[in-house]
């Protein structure tokens, strides 16, 4: 109440209404040690309703997490505080994941709970044995993503996942009855969960429900009936308690009603001591765990530590270099989705923490290599996840798997359906989560499925997302290089845009040097002084090379620059960019997508050969002709511009 009042903004209602639930959880159940909020075998607590952040910050402060001082509470929502408006895992010790967009937390928690079971299957109960608790609000459960999440968790029998629902029947517009009449208990039960109702202000009832949930063979929903803004004389139980400071009068009234006579931010010693004790509750367990880790054979221990720290194995670079040499010796004219599979055959061996999966497009995405076994309900020894047709749920689960630690997750669907996954991909970018998205069928090159399935604006939209890296490799060698960069990246997500259609192998050199690392490089120099530069990505590199040949035949020298990652290229120092862009007077960009973004390379007067609207349904070669993305069209445009 005091922090929200001081900040003059924020959400007091949830922290006040859910304080009883949180107190039972943190003092009686949560396995954690405030002295080490990153201990790998801690229970995870995820505040899905991120707007109630002050509840989480209060808990971190009271239990004694280092750095979470009372001053941080006083600086709630101020620049550079550890107490931003919504929880950010990269700013605040003890915050497991960024939440705020409703539904993301509960869906991310599925990934946490799954990663726990998978790591347990690899390392056993001695090292991995914890729960994932979620505090979710009405809004979390109304969002569509919650359905994908709970259906997946129920199907996989993720019994370490326990959701405490702050069932207060209030949202921003007023009573929930304005817009919702779902029986959530029945919905969760239908999805394979235990679901029970308790009085959310009865600590004993909450305690009994959590105890029972811990013994279940299924995930559990505990619907905790609460009063939003509990204690506030006029605002309790109304939407007025949701998202604004209580105001002096209401705040004073609430303190009286709750029997609290202390000054703002003042915590009496007996209460502080009790919470500090709760914060130390897991210390003995953590120390015993550390002893068990120490007792492991050196190699196994080092591998576990490497994985939970998120360090990549040295074998990755070697494996990719070897593969590239093999591809130079035996060129593969395959779709880049197939090239990705070829790369994954060796990369999955080199990177044991890489976990793949698809939203029901496994045979199209080519993500399941022969050496990977799929996990199934109750059997988590495997590295492949059938996410079902749940792109959004998949992307959020991937965030949770990565944040849990021990794994690098990659999920797949068609590039056009990044729209269905985008809110979770945005969390990955914002929170710096190293997730990989394998997005195949990346243009009109997918052909007959038509414009509903043909992405045109998606590359630009993903490139516009800060910290998202977008790769669009041109052949099998670039695909291997892009996979290497995606996996070596530990500070954010990567999207691999891959073709359905076959492509020739355009790269002639292999070796350890990753030519894609600057995002763009000269693939084919001009035969003489270049009069134009053709920049192309992915499947259009082949077309640019054909145009180069046509122009060469007319004694018009042009160079071709392959651009496997436009955003990475644009992030290079000016000098590097200038050198690769070169000084040929005519600049052409070729990409079977919209122009947005390419002006940074070719300028507003550069020639763009690509898409200017939605695609169409036809065999892909006909589409390339229809939309004018051909070598002839490029050559003709270059010569016309030259002759102007
Ligand atoms: C995806 C998304 N849509 C909208 C919002 C804005 N918003 C924040 S809280 C909230 C609903 C509040 O109701 P509830 O979830 O029941 O929380 P409570 O009022 O109980 O705190 C909304 C619509 C959001 N944070 N995320």
**Residue 641: CB atoms within 10 Å:** 16
pLDDT digits (tens, 9 = 90+) for 122-171: 999 999 999 999 999 999 999 999 999 999 999 999 999 999 999 999 99
In Å, how far from its chain's centre is CA 628?
36
Specify the ligand 1 atom closest to the Cα of 423. Answer: 1
Out of 171, 182, 235, give the residue to mutate to test ligand 1, the one with the largest number of ligand atoms within 8 Å of its CB. 171
Under the banding of pLDDT at 50, 70 and 90, the label for residue 582 is very high
Pair of tokens at residue 40: 């790998």
What is the pLDDT at residue 633? 98
Specify the ligand 1 atom closest to the Cα of 176. Answer: 16
- In the set 391, 478, 540, 591, the catalytic residue is 391
CA-nearest residue, atom 15 of ligand 1: 139
The reply to whether 391 belongs to the active site is yes
CB within 8 A of 527, min separation 6: which ones?
552, 557
What is the pLDDT at residue 644? 85
Is it the case that residue 63 has pLDDT exceeding 90?
yes
Question: Which residues sit with their C-beta closer than 6 Å to ligand 1?
Answer: 13-14, 49, 51-52, 100-102, 137-139, 143, 166, 168, 170-172, 228, 242
Residues 303 and 494: beta-carbon distance below 8 Å:
no
Specify the ligand 1 atom closest to the Cα of 166. Answer: 20
Distance 140 CA to ligand 1 centre (A): 7
Distance 243 CA to ligand 1 centre (A): 9
530: left (phi over 0), alpha (psi -120 to 50) or beta: beta
Distance 113 CA to ligand 1 centre (A): 24
- Mean pLDDT over residues 437-466, rounded? 98
What is the pLDDT at residue 294? 98
**Residue 214: CB atoms within 10 Å:** 13
Under the banding of pLDDT at 50, 70 and 90, the label for residue 285 is very high
Residues 282 and 42: beta-carbon distance below 8 Å:
yes
Pair of tokens at residue 196: 């029970």
CB within 8 A of 84, min separation 6: which ones?
53, 77, 91, 92
- Mean pLDDT over residues 226-252, rounded? 97
What is the pLDDT at residue 381? 98
Average pLDDT, rounded, for the chain:
98
What value, to the nearest 5°, has the Cα angle with vertex 416 and ends 415 and 418? 70
DSSP secondary structure of 422-467: HHHHHHHHHHT---EEEEE--SGGG-TT-TTT--SSHHHHHHTSTT
Instruction: Identify the three-state secondary structure at position 535.
Output: strand
Distance 172 CA to ligand 1 centre (A): 7
Specify the ligand 1 atom closest to the Cα of 239. Answer: 19
pLDDT digits (tens, 9 = 90+) for 195-214: 999 999 999 999 999 999 99
Give the residue from 60, 68, 79, 55 showing the smallest Cα distance to 3. 55
Out of 172, 225, 235, 426, give the residue to mutate to test ligand 1, the one with the largest number of ligand atoms within 8 Å of its CB. 172
Q: What percent of the chain has pLDDT over 90?
A: 99
Distance 101 CA to ligand 1 centre (A): 8
Under the banding of pLDDT at 50, 70 and 90, the label for residue 110 is very high
pLDDT digits (tens, 9 = 90+) for 483-499: 999 999 999 999 999 99
What is the pLDDT at residue 452? 98
Specify the ligand 1 atom closest to the Cα of 102. Answer: 26
Is it the case that residue 226 has pLDDT exceeding 90?
yes
Out of 52, 102, 167, give the residue to mutate to test ligand 1, the one with the largest number of ligand atoms within 8 Å of its CB. 102
Is it the case that residue 246 has pLDDT exceeding 90?
yes
Q: What is the pTM of this model?
A: 0.98
d(CA 14, CA 4): 12
CA-nearest residue, atom 9 of ligand 1: 51
Distance 146 CA to ligand 1 centre (A): 14
Give the residue from 235, 231, 234, 220 showing the smallest Cα distance to 185. 220
Phi, psi of 135 (to 5 degrees): -105, 115
pLDDT digits (tens, 9 = 90+) for 31-62: 999 999 999 999 999 999 999 999 999 999 99
CB within 8 A of 235, min separation 6: which ones?
13, 229, 241, 246, 250
Is it the case that residue 589 has pLDDT exceeding 90?
yes
pLDDT digits (tens, 9 = 90+) for 500-543: 999 999 999 988 899 999 999 999 999 999 999 999 999 999 99
Under the banding of pLDDT at 50, 70 and 90, the label for residue 255 is very high
């Amino acid at each position: 109440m005091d922090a929200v009042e001081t900040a003059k903004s924020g959400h007091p209602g949830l922290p006040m209404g859910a304080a009883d639930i949180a107190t039972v959880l943190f003092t009686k159940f949560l396995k954690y040690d405030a002295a080490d909020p990153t201990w790998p075998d801690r229970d995870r607590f995820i505040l899905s309703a991120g707007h109630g952040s002050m509840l989480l910050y209060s808990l971190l402060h009271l239990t004694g997490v280092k750095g979470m001082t009372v001053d941080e509470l006083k600086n709630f929502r101020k620049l550079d505080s550890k107490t931003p408006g919504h929880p950010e895992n990269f700013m605040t010790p003890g915050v497991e994941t960024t939440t705020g967009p409703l539904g993301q937390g509960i869906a991310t928690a599925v990934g946490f709970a799954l990663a726990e079971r998978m790591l347990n299957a690899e390392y056993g109960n001695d090292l991995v044995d914890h729960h994932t608790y979620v505090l979710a609000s009405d809004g979390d459960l109304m969002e569509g993503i919650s359905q994908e999440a709970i259906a997946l968790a129920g199907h996989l029998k993720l019994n370490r996942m326990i959701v405490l629902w702050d069932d207060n029947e209030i949202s921003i517009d007023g009573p929930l009855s304005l817009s919702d009449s779902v029986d959530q208990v029945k919905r969760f039960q239908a999805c394979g969960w235990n679901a029970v109702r308790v009085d959310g202000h009865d600590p004993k009832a909450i305690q009994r429900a959590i105890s029972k949930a811990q013994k279940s063979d299924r995930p559990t929903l505990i619907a905790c009936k609460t009063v939003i803004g509990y204690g506030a004389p006029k605002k309790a139980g109304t939407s007025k308690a949701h998202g604004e400071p209580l105001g002096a009068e209401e705040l004073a009234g609430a303190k009286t009603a709750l029997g609290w006579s202390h000054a703002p931010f003042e915590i009496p010693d007996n209460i502080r001591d009790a919470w500090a004790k709760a914060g130390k509750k897991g210390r003995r367990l953590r120390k015993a765990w550390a002893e068990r880790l120490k007792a492991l054979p050196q190699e196994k221990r080092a591998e576990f530590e490497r994985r939970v720290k998120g360090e990549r194995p040295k074998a990755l670079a070697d494996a990719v270099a070897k593969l590239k040499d093999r591809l130079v010796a035996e060129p593969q004219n395959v779709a880049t989705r197939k090239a990705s599979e070829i790369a994954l055959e060796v990369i999955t061996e080199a990177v044991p923490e890489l976990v793949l999966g698809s939203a029901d497009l496994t045979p199209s995405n080519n993500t399941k290599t022969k050496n990977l076994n799929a996990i199934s309900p109750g059997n988590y020894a495997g590295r492949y996840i059938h996410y079902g047709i749940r792109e959004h749920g998949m992307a959020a689960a991937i965030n949770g798997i990565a944040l849990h630690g021990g794994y690098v997750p990659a999920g797949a669907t068609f590039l056009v359906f990044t729209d269905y996954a985008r809110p979770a991909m945005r969390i990955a970018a914002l929170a710096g989560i190293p997730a990989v998205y394998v997005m195949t069928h990346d243009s009109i090159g997918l052909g007959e499925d038509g414009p509903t399935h043909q992405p045109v604006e998606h590359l630009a939209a993903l490139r516009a997302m800060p910290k998202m890296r977008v790769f669009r490799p041109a052949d099998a060698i670039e695909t291997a290089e892009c996979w290497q960069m995606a996996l070596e990246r530990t500070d954010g997500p990567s999207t691999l845009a891959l073709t359905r259609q076959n492509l020739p192998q355009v790269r002639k050199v292999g070796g350890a040097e990753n030519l894609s690392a600057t995002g763009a490089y000269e693939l084919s120099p001009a035969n003489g002084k270049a009069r134009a530069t053709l920049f192309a990505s992915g499947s259009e590199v082949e077309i640019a090379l054909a145009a180069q040949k046509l122009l060469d035949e007319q004694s018009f020298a042009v160079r071709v620059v392959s651009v496997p990652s436009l955003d990475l290229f644009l992030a290079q120092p000016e000098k590097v960019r200038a050198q690769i862009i070169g000084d040929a007077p005519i600049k052409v960009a070729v990409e079977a997508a919209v122009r947005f973004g390419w002006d940074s390379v070719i300028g507003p007067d550069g020639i763009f050969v690509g898409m200017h609207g939605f695609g169409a349904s036809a065999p892909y070669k006909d589409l390339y002709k229809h939309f004018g993305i051909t070598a002839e069209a490029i050559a003709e445009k270059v010569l016309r511009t030259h002759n102007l």
